[in-house]
């Protein structure tokens, strides 16, 4: 009966958070197939240890922590990181764009993603969690198990590094 209860809880978490977990892993490792494998490993580990989950943090925070740790482990084992552009989620706002506007927007999104992927991992994580996963500083602090002040500092430094990288790209393009 304990296995059924565990499976139900993990199944519920997979439905609630699976898409968010794969997204954050993908943004960190920059390879969809690897992100799928890591996400599967997250839920395997969660299933194997769900009964030891104390509830000191939310399940959401616990899952993100596992996902980030597995992503970090993958990157540390990987000899060479490839920087392929990531697909930006596009939201329809009801306005039609000219072909030129679409090209400019896609080019800018590509530059932003490329710049994020060039950030050191300690800044990339907080930038992704804050801007893509829309977590607040206290939530990021719980996920990373770091003081809020440290997260704020990393977020500030990450923004500055991202700004510098983007400026270099813009000047390199002559715009």
Q: Tell me whether residue 84 is in a domain.
A: no
The CATH number of residue 24's host domain is: 1.10.1740.10
Q: Tell me whether residue 150 is in a domain.
A: yes
**Residue 158 exposed, middle or buried by CB count within 10 Å (0-12, 13-18, 19+):** buried
Do both 49 and 116 map to the same domain? no
Q: What is the pLDDT of residues 10-66, one digit of tens each?
A: 888 899 999 999 999 998 888 889 999 999 999 888 888 887 777 777 888 889 989
Q: What is the pLDDT of residues 67-118, one digit of tens each?
A: 999 998 888 776 443 444 444 444 445 556 777 777 777 777 777 888 888 8
Count up the domains in the chain and report the number.
2
Domain hosting residue 59, numbered range: 2-77
Q: Tell me whether residue 117 is in a domain.
A: yes
Q: Angle 27-30-36 (CA atoms, 0-180°, nearest 5)?
A: 85
The CATH number of residue 114's host domain is: 1.10.10.10
């Amino acid at each position: 009966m304990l296995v059924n209860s565990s499976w139900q809880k993990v199944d519920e978490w997979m439905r609630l958070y699976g898409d968010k977990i794969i997204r954050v892993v993908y943004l960190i490792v920059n390879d969809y197939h690897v992100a799928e494998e890591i996400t599967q490993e997250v839920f395997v580990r969660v299933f194997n240890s769900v009964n030891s989950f104390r509830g000191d943090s939310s399940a959401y925070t616990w899952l993100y922590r596992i996902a980030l740790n597995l992503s970090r482990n993958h990157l540390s084992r990987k000899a060479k990181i490839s920087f392929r552009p990531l697909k930006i989620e596009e939201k329809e706002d009801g306005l039609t764009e000219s072909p030129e506007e679409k090209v400019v927007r896609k080019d800018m999104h590509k530059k932003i993603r490329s710049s994020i992927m060039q950030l050191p991992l300690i800044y990339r994580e907080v930038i992704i969690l804050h801007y893509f996963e829309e977590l607040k500083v206290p939530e990021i602090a719980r996920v990373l198990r770091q003081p809020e002040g440290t997260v704020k500092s990393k977020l500030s430094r990450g923004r500055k590094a991202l700004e510098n990288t983007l400026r270099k790209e813009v000047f390199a393009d002559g715009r």
